[in-house]
Structure formats: structure tokens, C-alpha cells
A and B are shown apart, each in its own frame.
Chain A
């Protein structure tokens, strides 16, 4: 029996409706999972894998 943390406390996963989704683009690869109880969202977790870095160019100036 898998337990899920919800807004109503720990609940047996089998009592809940599970919905999953994902997003993948140049910036991120994201997955999420939701658990619903009688039409109410009681749990939502998300996992974002960052793909894009922040980069700064630096330069040594020329005298001529």
C-alpha cells in the first residue's frame, strides 16, 4: 500500500485519482504528478530539470 501526502494527511494511493504530465523544451524537462479526491486536488509535486545555463561573456580589450 503506497501512501501519498495530501492536504488531508497521508492517504492510500488507491483511493485517489492520479494524473501525470510532462513538458520538454530547450529550457527544461519537467514532470508533475497530481492526486485528486472527489474532484479536489489534494497533492501536486513537480520536478524541473534545468537545461539552460546562464552564461556571461568576458573580454580583454585591445590597445589598437
Chain B
């Protein structure tokens, strides 16, 4: 037997459930899953890896769209899977499509921000797609499969 330097895969999965705290953590009143939301942004906005929290700046507006967007359902807890003695993946994907029903969004948009509405609207991820407008219609974002390689949000060691 030999030891192998590695980030443990269990640790990556536990990062997704706030098990570890190396600094000052928010005080949680419950161990329940946080609530997450998805907001749409105009093509002229500049949301990216440096985004720290939800903002209404650059957000779409229009009939039947509520600022802040819609709820995102994470029905399946994060999964952590080893692929070798040195590598693994922790991943999670919303368990349902994100849908904006009967909206009119006349100005082109091309991004969605997923953020934690329980924890001061802190940002999770930005996902882009081809520019869209919606007229008295429905905009649906379907999620990729929740697997080690395709899950929407992944932490990985190689």
C-alpha cells in the first residue's frame, strides 16, 4: 500500500452542503436545503465569474417576469464520486427545468444567474445561451443530465 496525495472527493461533496468552514460562516437557523433562484440577464449585461450576488442591474424586465426570477429546484442532493485514487467529482444539477411562463421579454437576453436566495442572494453560477426574446410565450431552460461529466455544477480533481 502507498499513500496518495489527493483532495478527498467527500470533501468536495461536503463543500456543496456547507459542512466545512475555514472562515466565518453565515449563521444557519436550520439544516434544511437553501432556496435558489434563476434570474435572466440582457445581452448587454456583464455577469461572469466575478459576480458575487444577484443584482437587478441588467436583468430582463417585461410582462409576467418578476425581478429576481423564478425558483430553482434541487431535488437531488450533491453527489461525490471517486474516479481514481487522486481524482473525483462532486456535482449537482437542478432536478427540474427552469420555466418562465407567459412572459414578454422584448429585449434580447442570453444568460441566467443561479443564486442562493437564502444566503443573501449570493451567486452560484452563470450560464449563457444564444440570444433570445419572448413574446407572450414561455421560456424554458432544460438541465443537462445529473452525471459526473454533464451535471450543471461540478467540482473536480484530476
Residues on A lying within 8 angstroms of B by beta carbon are 5-7, 23, 27-28, 30, 32-34, 41-60, 62
B132 touches A56 (CB 8 A): no
- CB of B71 within 8 A of chain A? no
Residues of A within 8 A of B138 (CB): 45
Among A42, A53, A57, point to the contact of B153 (Cβ < 8 A): A53
A48-B12 contact, Cβ under 8 Å, with A54-B154, A57-B158, A62-B5: no
| Inter-chain contact total with CB atoms closer than 8 Å | 97
Does B144 contact A53, Cβ atoms closer than 8 Å? yes
Between A and B, 10 residue pairs with Cβ closer than 8 Å are A5-B136, A27-B128, A32-B132, A48-B142, A52-B127, A56-B154, A56-B155, A56-B156, A58-B157, A60-B7
The answer to whether B155 touches A53, judged by C-beta atoms less than 8 angstroms apart, is no
**Roughly how many angstroms separate A28 CA and B152 CA in the complex, as a whole number?**
12
**8 Å CB contacts to A: which residues of B107-158?**
125-130, 132-144, 150-158
Taken together as a complex, chains A and B put the C-alpha atoms of A46 and B157 apart, in Å, by 35
* 8 new A-B contacts at CB < 8 Å, known A46-B134, A50-B152, A60-B7: A5-B102, A30-B132, A45-B139, A47-B140, A50-B129, A50-B141, A58-B12, A58-B157
Cβ of B79 under 8 Å from chain A? no
A59 to B127 alpha-carbon distance, docked (Å): 24
Residue of B nearest to A29 (CB): B142
Is B137 within 8 A of A43, CB to CB?
yes
B contact residues around A57 at 8 Å (CB): 156-158
Which of chain A's residues have a CB closer than 8 A to the CB of B142?
47-50
